[in-house]
Amino acid sequence: METQVAAPLLLLLVGVCLARREEYYDDVPDVGFTSQYGPLWPLPQKFQTSAVVFKLSGASFRIVDAKESSSGASCALLQNAYRRYFNYIFPSTKKQGHNKKKTFVSALSELQVWTTSADSDCDGFPDVTSDESYQLSVDSSVAVLKAAKVWGVLRGLETFSQLVYEDEYGAISVNRTEINDFPRFAHRGVLLDTSRHFLPVKVILANLEAMAWNKFNVFHWHIVDDPSFPYLSRTFPQLSQQGAYHPYTHVYTPSDVKMIIEFARLRGIRVIPEFDTPGHTLSWGKGQKDLLTPCYSGASPSGTFGPVNPILNTTYEFMSMLFKEISTVFTDAYIHLGGDEVDFGCWKSNPDIQKFMEQQGFGTDYKKLESFYIQRILDIVSTTNKHYMIWQEVLDNGVKLKPDTVVNVWMGNQLEAELEKVTGAGFTTILSAPWYLDWIGYGQDWQKYYLAEPLSFKGTDAQKKLVIGGEACLWGEYVDGTNLTPRLWPRASAVAERLWSDKDVRDVNDAYSRLAQHRCRMIQRGIPAEPLITGFCPHEYSGQ
Ligand X SMILES: *[C@@H]1O[C@H](CO)[C@@H](O)[C@H](O)[C@H]1NC(C)=O
Site residues for ligand X per CB under 6 A: 38, 49, 51, 53, 175, 313
Active site residue 393: no
Q: Are 161 and 88 in contact (CB under 8 A)?
A: yes
Strand ranges, E, within 116-171:
134-138, 142-147, 165-166
Q: Which is nearer to ligand X, 38 or 301 (CB)?
A: 38
Ramachandran class of 499: left when φ > 0, alpha when ψ lies in -120 to 50, beta otherwise:
alpha
Q: Give the nearest distance from C-beta 108 to ligand X in angstroms.
A: 13
Q: Which is nearer to ligand X, 33 or 248 (CB)?
A: 33
| The one-letter amino acid at 267 | R
3-state secondary structure of 219: strand
Least distance from C-beta 314 to ligand X, angstroms?
A: 8
Residue placing its CB nearer to ligand X in the complex, 35 or 69: 35
Q: What phi-psi label fits residue 494: left (phi over 0), alpha (psi between -120 and 50 degrees) or beta?
A: alpha
Query: Which residues, in sequence order, are CB contacts of 294 under 8 Å at separation 6+?
Result: 301, 302, 304, 305, 306, 309, 350
Question: Considering the complex, what minimum distance in angstroms separates the CB of residue 150 from ligand X?
Answer: 27
Q: What are phi and psi of 137, to 5 degrees?
A: -130, 120
Half-sphere exposure of 370 (CA within 13 A, CB side): 27
Nearer to ligand X, 258 or 376 (CB): 376
Of the residues 341, 358, 416, 453, only one is catalytic, namely: 341
Q: Which is nearer to ligand X, 283 or 293 (CB)?
A: 293
- Whether residue 28 contacts residue 146, with contact meaning beta carbons closer than 8 Å, is answered with no
- For helices 313-329 and 366-382, give the axis angle rounded to 10 degrees: 40
CB of 513 to ligand X, least distance (A): 11
Query: Which is closer to ligand X, CB of 138 or CB of 269?
Result: 138
**Shortest distance, position 238 Cβ to ligand X, whole Å:** 23
Q: How far is the CB of 369 from ligand X (least distance, A)?
A: 16
Query: Can you tell me the distance from the alpha carbon of 103 to that of 539, in angstroms, rounded to the nearest whole number?
Result: 28
Residues annotated as catalytic (active site), given as ranges: 341
